[in-house]
Amino acid sequence: MMRSIYLVARRDYLGYVTAWGFWLGLLLTPFFLSLGIIGPALAASQTPERYYVVVDPDGALGPAMDEKTLDLKIDVIEAQIMALGALTGDGRKTAATFETAARESGDLAAALTAAGIDPETSNIEIPDDDFIRVEAPATTIDGLRPWLLGERLLDTPNGERPLFAALIKTDEGIEYWSENVTIGTVKNIAERAAISLARTAVFTAQEVPFSILDDVRAATPEILERKVREDAAQAAEVTAADIAPTVVSVAIAFTLWMLIFSVVNYLLMGTIEERSNKIFDTLLTSVKLPHLLAGKLLAVLAVSLTLMVFWAGGGIGAMTYAGSALPPDMSEMIAAVTAAVLKPGILIPALLSFLLGYLMYGAVFLAIGSLCDTVQEAQTLMSPMLVLLMVPLFMVFIAVSDPTSPVLAVMAWIPVFTPFLLILRAPLEPSLWEVLGQLSLMAVATAAILWAAARIYRAGAVHGAGVNDVLHWFKGFLPGMGKTKAG
Amino acid sequence: MTGDPLVLSGATKTFAGFTAVDDLDFTVPEGSIVGFLGPNGAGKSTSLRMALGIMTPDAGEARLFGEKPGIDALRRVGFLPEERGLYKKMSPVGTIQYFARLKGMSANDARLRAFELLEASGLQDFARARISKLSKGMAQKVQILATLAHEPDLLILDEPFSGLDPVNQQALEDLIRDQHRRGSTIVFSTHVMEHAERLCQSIVMMARGKKVFDGSLEEAFGALGRRVRIGVSGGFDLSTALAGAGYAAAPDPSEGAAGWWHIQLPQGRDAQDALRAALAAGAPISGFAPEEARLRDVFISLAGEADAAMADQPGARSTFAGAAE
């Protein structure tokens, strides 16, 4: 038995991995994935510096905008510190230290150092100066018009540049002039600066001490996130170990989804090839049908695992090579993730879900392929399957924002979604009866689907049943559609 | 595993109300070459697929070497299906090796055997080419080689001559004889009776899902009886003239055969006796041709003209003209 499964799996596997399409996918998928991840950051870093001028007789608006520009950068860096700190539990303290230092010195790199973060080796990125205020070459809109239209260029430290926007303070308000009406960053900074200036003016007029804002800030209690633990003696701070299970379960569920989604073509094309090449009869006199199906599923699983091993190996290699890109606390994060993966409450349901989920969907795709002579025919039957497959992907997004959602709890009992949702809900440590119940239901459904798939496969392979037979079969269940016209 | 290589007992298969095979019984004795004859749609392929366990009979049963057709029994069988196909991206050597290994051969033995067969067939230069790059005839040869690579005890060939040019048809006939000399039992289906005449010791004839004959070639020809063809001129009625002498005569319905009659020879009389009787009856003889019995004639007499015509349809596969495409 094992021999024939091995031989079928081996042939199919070698058939797939020696095809140029496999290598194309192997190489291009990480490329496009990287492009998707790096692209936005690359686009941001490639944004040209834009220059603006402020015409303000009082001379207060320009410096206030400089201050707000710095505030924005501080906010961006603080968000990065908080994100990294979420894994170690000291993000808030580090961010506060950074903010104080940044406001005192205005030097963001020095402020990071003061907060204990090496700006050279850490993953924290200091935002570029995308919008730079320069001295106005004229004080009226008529005078500035040639610069704003690009007819004349500003003389900047980076060479001659066009003028992006001009803010002119008048008695009626602050006029914002620019040829580009889609990028509103400068306008937003001006609004913040104007609010700040107005607040200062009103406080001064009302003789309210400006320090009152600092007092309010100081009096605001900090929200300290703590995790309730059974052992009260354990530290209650939320650390990487607390977050890792959720991260791991989302990653596994997404990987399973990716795996199933990516193997669709392999399973379909392989079976369509056999049907269109009329190999079934020869195969079925050499190997039992269940062994043939098992070999095929195994081959495609091996192809997927090969892809993943290549990609993971490449990723680790790239990260190791670019060692400076690793955050200093990566080792702690890796340890936490590894511990989460090895946790029996996650590992066992994940493995079982992975296996049963793959078998369940893989068998369906094999059955569909056996009914089709062409890819076009397969697409007819695949459309509802692809829609069905999109549902778990949405569930992944829900789980990221709210793993306790009742929607997830209910849908976890629907066998076709259980493989994903059981994994996603594992960090919540659902009760044993719930896990066993869902696993059992999924196992029964998988067995039923495998049984049905084998019968459909046999119908397609042996009796030449096709897409139209399936459509007729479905029509038989619809009122008025399965009947033959009399006469 | 002992017993006759192939036995079908009361095998019946129905598809959506249409009975493709109806209560079929036949046995293939060890060491024989059996021709499975009949026109397209007679139920030959369905019968063979039931015999191999690809399809389950609705009634009756199939046995291979005394057992139900499971994988162990099938390891002793080589099967060339009617609808031929191979993995187009595989090489001939890979294909033969793969199917031989599925039949239980070791990797090394299967590889050596594949090269040996390809060399014997003159395909050694294409051993590692993709199947998709081979001509249709070459690909068909590869499939035939894959069928017999594991030296099966029973070789079942469904329309094996289909798609082959005359030279390769002859080569395949030689190959079948070689396999028979090696000790293999052979069953092949065809609707081209000439192949069966040249190769078979016994035949099974089918028409419309039913067996119409099962026996040796001699028995088949015996069933038809011997005939002679006599031509007469002037619209002479030979049937009436010979009736008194105990001969049954019927006009030849073939086109361009006006004035020719078929005369059935009774037991103990020969063609010369019939000629003498015609002369004695005053028939103006214009031609005389003793007839050698052909399987087609046997089939016509057993299954009727309509089924024989189906076998000879221009669209029917494996006619000689079609094979040379």
Q: Do A281 and B81 touch (CB under 8 A)?
A: yes
**Percent of all residues in chain A with a pLDDT value above 90, rounded to a whole number:** 14
Q: Do A279 and B49 touch (CB under 8 A)?
A: no
- How many angstroms separate the CA of residue B84 from the nearest CA in chain A? 6
Which of the four pLDDT bands, split at 50, 70 and 90, describes residue A166? Answer: very high
Give residue for tokens 């002679």. B228
Q: Is the pLDDT of residue A90 over 70?
A: no
Smallest Cβ–Cβ distance between B79 and the set A4, A273, A285 belongs to A285
Question: Which two structure tokens, joined as six digits, stand for A272?
Answer: 């369509």
**Percent of all residues in chain B with a pLDDT value above 70, rounded to a whole number:** 91
**A174, containing H or E segment:** strand A174-178
Smallest Cβ–Cβ distance between B102 and the set A278, A281, A287 belongs to A287
Which of the four pLDDT bands, split at 50, 70 and 90, describes residue A80? Answer: confident
Which of the four pLDDT bands, split at 50, 70 and 90, describes residue B315? Answer: very low
Q: Is the pLDDT of residue A384 over 70?
A: yes
Average pLDDT over residues A319-342: 64
Q: What is the pLDDT of residue B118?
A: 94
Smallest Cβ–Cβ distance between B55 and the set A273, A287, A462 belongs to A462
Residue to substitute from B54, B130, B132, B143, interface A, most A β-carbons within 10 A: B54
Which of the four pLDDT bands, split at 50, 70 and 90, describes residue A85? Answer: low
- How many angstroms separate the CA of residue A384 from the nearest CA in chain B? 29
Smallest Cβ–Cβ distance between B71 and the set A19, A288, A462 belongs to A288
Total beta-carbon pairs less than 8 A apart between chain A and chain B: 62
Strand, coil or helix: what is A135?
Answer: coil
The model's pLDDT over B106-122, given as tens digits with 9 standing for 90+, comes to 999 999 999 999 998 88
ipTM of the complex: 0.76
Residue to substitute from B44, B99, B106, B128, interface A, most A β-carbons within 10 A: B99
Sheet with A163-169, strands from edge to edge, namely A131-134, A50-55, A163-169, A174-178
Contacts of A284 in chain B (CB under 8 A): 54
Q: What is the pLDDT of residue B97?
A: 95
Q: What is the pLDDT of residue B78?
A: 94
**Percent of all residues in chain B with a pLDDT value above 90, rounded to a whole number:** 41
Report the range of poorest mean pLDDT among A135-144, A310-319, B32-41, B171-180.
A310-319
Give residue for tokens 């033995």. B109
CA distance A185 to A129: 12
The model's pLDDT over A221-241, given as tens digits with 9 standing for 90+, comes to 877 777 777 776 776 666 667
How far is CA A189 from each of CA A77, A167, A196, A355, rounded to the nearest angstrom?
17, 11, 11, 53
Residue to substitute from A5, A285, A463, interface B, most B β-carbons within 10 A: A285
Decide if B190 contacts B295 (C-beta within 8 A): no
Residue A122 backbone dihedrals phi, psi, to 5 degrees: -80, 165
Q: What angle do CA A298, A303, A308 make, to 5 degrees?
A: 120
Within 10 angstroms of residue A225's Cβ, the number of other Cβ atoms is: 12
The model's pLDDT over B184-238, given as tens digits with 9 standing for 90+, comes to 999 999 878 888 888 888 999 898 899 988 888 878 877 767 788 899 988 899 9
Residue of A nearest to B100 (CA): A286
Contacts of A472 in chain B (CB under 8 A): none
**Dmax over Cα atoms in chain A, in whole Å?**
98
Amino acid identity, position B66 = G
Q: Is the pLDDT of residue A390 over 80?
A: yes
Residue B33 backbone dihedrals phi, psi, to 5 degrees: -115, 115
Report the range of poorest mean pLDDT among A361-365, A441-445, B155-159.
A361-365
CA distance A337 to B190: 67
Rg value, chain B, Cα: 23
**Percent of all residues in chain A with a pLDDT value above 70, rounded to a whole number:** 89
Model-level pTM?
Answer: 0.71
Contacts of B143 in chain A (CB under 8 A): 282
Each residue of A230-254: b (16+ CB within 10 Å) or e? eeeeeeeebbbbbbbbbbbbbbbbb
Q: Is the pLDDT of residue A41 over 80?
A: no
Which of the four pLDDT bands, split at 50, 70 and 90, describes residue A346? Answer: confident
Rg value, chain A, Cα: 31
Decide if B11 contacts B24 (C-beta within 8 A): yes
Contacts of A484 in chain B (CB under 8 A): none
Average pLDDT over residues A324-334: 58
Q: Mean of the per-residue pLDDT values for chain B?
A: 85
- How many angstroms separate the CA of residue B146 from the nearest CA in chain A? 10
The model's pLDDT over A243-295, given as tens digits with 9 standing for 90+, comes to 778 888 888 888 888 877 777 778 888 888 888 777 888 888 999 888 998 99
Residue of B nearest to A2 (CA): B102
Strands, E, within B65-117: which ranges? 77-80
Q: Is the pLDDT of residue A141 over 60?
A: yes
Residue B290 backbone dihedrals phi, psi, to 5 degrees: -60, 135
Which of the four pLDDT bands, split at 50, 70 and 90, describes residue A62? Answer: very high
Question: Which two structure tokens, joined as six digits, stand for A3?
Answer: 């021999």
More confident residue, B19 or B217: B19
Residue to substitute from B102, B111, B136, interface A, most A β-carbons within 10 A: B102
Closest by Cα among A348, A258, A341 to A307? A258
Amino acid identity, position A51 = Y
**A332, containing H or E segment:** helix A330-341
Q: What is the pLDDT of residue A89?
A: 55
Query: Residues 6 or more apart from B143 whose CB is under 8 A from it?
Result: A282, B80, B84, B85, B86, B95
Smallest Cβ–Cβ distance between A279 and the set B54, B87, B103 belongs to B87
Average pLDDT over residues B41-48: 89
B86 touching A (Cβ < 8 Å) = yes
Average pLDDT over residues B245-250: 88
CA distance B38 to A302: 46
Q: Do B74 and A286 touch (CB under 8 A)?
A: yes
Q: What is the pLDDT of residue A322?
A: 58
Question: Which two structure tokens, joined as six digits, stand for A147?
Answer: 């610069």
The model's pLDDT over B53-75, given as tens digits with 9 standing for 90+, comes to 988 899 999 999 999 998 889 99
CA distance B70 to B52: 8
- Region class of B246: left (phi > 0), else alpha (psi between -120 and 50), else beta: left
CA distance A368 to A453: 8
CA distance A87 to A74: 21
Average pLDDT over residues A20-44: 79
Closest by Cα among A130, A122, A116 to A46? A130
A481 touching B (Cβ < 8 Å) = no
Q: What is the pLDDT of residue A171?
A: 86
Smallest Cβ–Cβ distance between B54 and the set A274, A276, A462 belongs to A462
Decide if A280 contacts A462 (C-beta within 8 A): yes
Q: Do A462 and B77 touch (CB under 8 A)?
A: no
- How many angstroms separate the CA of residue A431 from the nearest CA in chain B? 46
CA distance B214 to B35: 10
Contacts of A273 in chain B (CB under 8 A): 87-88
Residues pairing with A163 in the sheet: A51
Closest by Cα among A389, A363, A281 to B85? A281
Q: Mean of the per-residue pLDDT values for chain A?
A: 82
